[in-house]
Amino acid sequence: MRAKLIRTFILTGLVALPFASLNAQTQQVKPWEKIPIPALHSFKPEQPKRIVLKNGIVVFLEEDHELPFVQGSITLRGGSREEPAAKVGLVELYGETWRTSGTATLSGDAMDDQLEAMAAKIETGGELESTSLSWDCLKGDFDKVFALSVDLLLHPKFDGEKLQLAQQQIATDIVRRNDDAGGIAAREAAKLVYGAESPYAREPEIATISAVTLADLDAWHRQTVQPANMLISVSGDFDSASVEAKLRAAFESLPAGKAFPAARVEFPAPKPGLYFVNKDDVNQSNIRIVGLGTDRRNPDLYALAVMNEVFGGGFGSRLFQKIRTKMGLAYSVGGSYGAGWDHPGTFRVSAGTKSESTVDALTAMKAEIEALRTEPVTAEEVARAKDQLLNGWIFEYDTKDKVLSAQVRLAFFGYPSNYLEKYREGLEKVTPADVERVARKYVDPAKLAILVVGNQKQIQPPLAKLGDVTTLDITIPMPAGMGAQQ
């Protein structure tokens, strides 16, 4: 028996020795750490050709002969933030009805047939700051599709039936907008930051879209389709000189007109407090801690971008590592101090958690916001954040189309054309001291509003444990006689 035990011990030792040796070697030798990481190359994106017509229209042309396609876009200043408060939803209706109605000589349905035969498309739409018309076609069909686009731009004929159809579609979205808890959280958080009546937060209602008429669409079109409001971009397989000549022939003789007046909006800070929306058909909570952000002209933008990455930008961020990884309190968590192009963005910390852990998750989120101001940022955190931003940011502008879109956006908001290069230079100069400075300067827990969308019965302990709770009413206003139908 003793001899058997000895043999077993020897054999076990012989088997274990190679693994022990291998384990020791693995711990000592880490060849991947010796792989040299080269510095990023200088960032000099190829810029599109920029032309300014005599009437002020700015044109960008970007040749790309890889595929036989041509894409174009006409961007017009004036969007939903400028629509009247009594007719919120006008721009969305305009963007839909413009395309489906067609022109004075060609209905929208007939235009569909012609475009389908060419495997081409023309689209119109409305956004917060702008409205637009765009097209996409094969190289050989450019002249035909461009002619249709110009006709639609200059000679639309808005159709009553198409407007009514668009109103019905938007009404359907309105009556269902409380189905999704995440959508409720995003919508109500914007109202807390900007104010319920702000152009940056208000929502279309049945009454406001029903008030929109064909005359409103015509008036909006006449006001926005002015060369003083217009930017044109074309990219794809074409000859710049030829397309420039066609654009000049189509647009340069138009009178400049008047620039669309931008909306004048005030941005008061949100009223601090704890706000709640009860949704009893869910078993988890959507949490938003929000405040007013800044805009992209802020000289502290670069330090704020690095702060965002350290705080809530990804898997290695403080929020993710503490609240999700270590504490297991959230399905998802993140945050940033947002910056708009021409208005303040929002400071936002958000998380999704099960109902029972709502209070714990919210408490942890508040603690991390305070820690951002008080706990020193390490050189390692800043270096990692800058690497992630710079390496990821380059891929946002790694194609000609992306650079073209960026230049149109910069021109639209009045930024210098070298903004992209300056942005990278600014990020590279950020230090830990810069991050700590902007965290103390811009992040103030006393100025933040907290929103929870969840199941009141399942949130235990209740939110009242954290203070006074204001319950928000998200009832959808319905015109007289429609309540029963809803």
Q: What is the pLDDT, as a whole number, of residue 461?
A: 96
CA pair distance 484, 161, nearest whole angstrom:
26
pLDDT in tens, 84-130: 999 999 999 999 999 999 999 999 999 999 999 999 999 999 999 99
| Per-residue pLDDT, 16 | 44
**Measuring CA to CA, which residue among 334, 329, 335, 337 is closest to residue 363?**
329
> For residue 326, what is the DSSP state?
I
Name the CATH topology of 273-471.
Answer: Cytochrome Bc1 Complex; Chain A, domain 1 (3.30.830)
Per-residue pLDDT at 34: 74
- Domain residue spans of the chain: 49-251, 273-471
Encode the chain (486 residues) as per-residue pLDDT tens digits.
444 444 444 444 444 444 444 454 545 667 766 777 676 666 677 889 999 999 999 999 999 999 999 999 999 999 999 999 999 999 999 999 999 999 999 999 999 999 999 999 999 999 999 999 999 999 999 999 999 999 999 999 999 999 999 999 999 999 999 999 999 999 999 999 999 999 999 999 999 999 999 999 999 999 999 999 999 999 999 999 999 999 999 999 999 999 888 778 899 889 999 999 999 999 999 999 999 999 999 999 999 999 999 999 888 899 999 999 999 999 999 999 999 999 999 999 999 999 999 999 999 999 999 999 999 999 999 999 999 999 887 788 888 999 999 999 999 999 998 898 888 899 999 999 999 999 999 999 999 999 999 999 999 999 999 999 999 999 999 887 665 333
Among residues 362, 309, 360, the alpha carbon closest in space to that of 334 is found at 309
Q: What is the separation, in whole angstroms, between the first and last Cα of the chain? A: 85
Report how far residue 455's alpha carbon sits from residue 281's, in angstroms, rounded to the nearest whole number. 7
Measure the CA–CA gap between 261 and 223, rounded to whole angstroms: 10
Burial 333-360 (b: 16+ CB within 10 A, else e): bbbbbbbbeebbbbbbbbbbbbbebbbb
320-324's contacts with Cβ under 8 Å and 24+ in sequence apart are: 322/364, 322/368, 323/351, 323/361, 323/364, 323/365, 323/368
Handedness of CA 128, 129, 130, 134 (dihedral sign): negative
Cα distance between residue 362 and residue 111, in whole Å: 53
Looking at the DSSP bridge assignments, the partners of residue 344 are 339
Neighbours of 268 (CB within 10 A): 10
Burial class, 55, CB count within 10 angstroms (exposed 0-12 / middle 13-18 / buried 19+): middle
What is the DSSP pairing of strand 294-295 with strand 332-340? parallel
Return all residues near 137 (Cβ < 8 A) that are at least 6 apart. Answer: 69, 70, 118, 119, 120, 121, 144, 145
DSSP output for 411-470: HHHT--TTHHHHHHHHHHT--HHHHHHHHHHH--GGG-EEEEEE-TTT-SS-GGGGS-EE
CATH class of 49-251: alpha beta
Whether 49-251 and 273-471 share one fold: the answer is yes
Report residue 385 as tokens: 């954040």
pTM of the entire predicted model = 0.87
